């Protein structure tokens, strides 16, 4: 079925290092991608988004890269902090925007 998957289910990084979380999506009929962060006991929260007509978008300490050729999305977190520890979901909104499709998530552990 439809899916947005992730290459790595868990990622452990040292505090201060950069983190890269990858995502492969299968539905090519999409024009919008979003990264969400889910901390323990909370619902997912919006981090950053990117439209399909872009290949890079930067936010505060985060950058999203989109490669439509290989249907790959990545989230880069600069100078990772303990507060970044969470599960990160990539999400895809197909053209028409009827629903957001979420991947399985990557758990990020930040070691102090």
Interface positions with other proteins (CB under 8 A): 1, 32, 34, 36, 41-46, 49, 89, 93, 97-105
> Which CB sits closer to other proteins, 83 or 96?
96
At its nearest, how many Å lie between other proteins and the CB of residue 105?
A: 5
Structure tokens at 20: 């890269």
Task: Give the shortest CB-45-to-other proteins separation in angstroms.
Answer: 7
Residue 8 neighbours by CB under 8 Å, 6+ apart: 21, 22, 106
Our CB check for other proteins shows the closer of 44 and 73 to be 44
Per-residue tokens: 31 = 């024009």
CB 104, CB 2: distance < 8 Å: no
**Shorter beta-carbon distance to other proteins: residue 30 or 80:** 30
Neighbouring CB atoms inside 10 A of 9's CB total 10
Of residues 35 and 77, the one with the C-beta less far from other proteins: 35
CB of residue 80 to other proteins, shortest distance in Å: 22
Distance between CA atoms of 38 and 44, rounded to whole angstroms? 4
């Amino acid at each position: 079925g439809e899916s947005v998957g992730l290459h790595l289910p868990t990622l452990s990084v040292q505090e201060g290092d950069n983190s890269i979380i990858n995502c492969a999506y299968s539905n090519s009929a999409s024009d919008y991608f979003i990264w969400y962060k889910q901390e323990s006991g909370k619902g997912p929260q919006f981090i950053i988004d990117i439209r399909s007509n872009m290949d890079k978008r930067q936010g505060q300490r985060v950058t999203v890269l989109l490669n439509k050729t290989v249907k790959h999305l990545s989230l880069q977190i600069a100078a990772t902090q303990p507060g970044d520890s969470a599960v990160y979901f990539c999400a895809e909104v197909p053209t028409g925007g009827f629903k957001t499709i979420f991947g399985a998530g990557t758990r990020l552990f930040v070691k102090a």
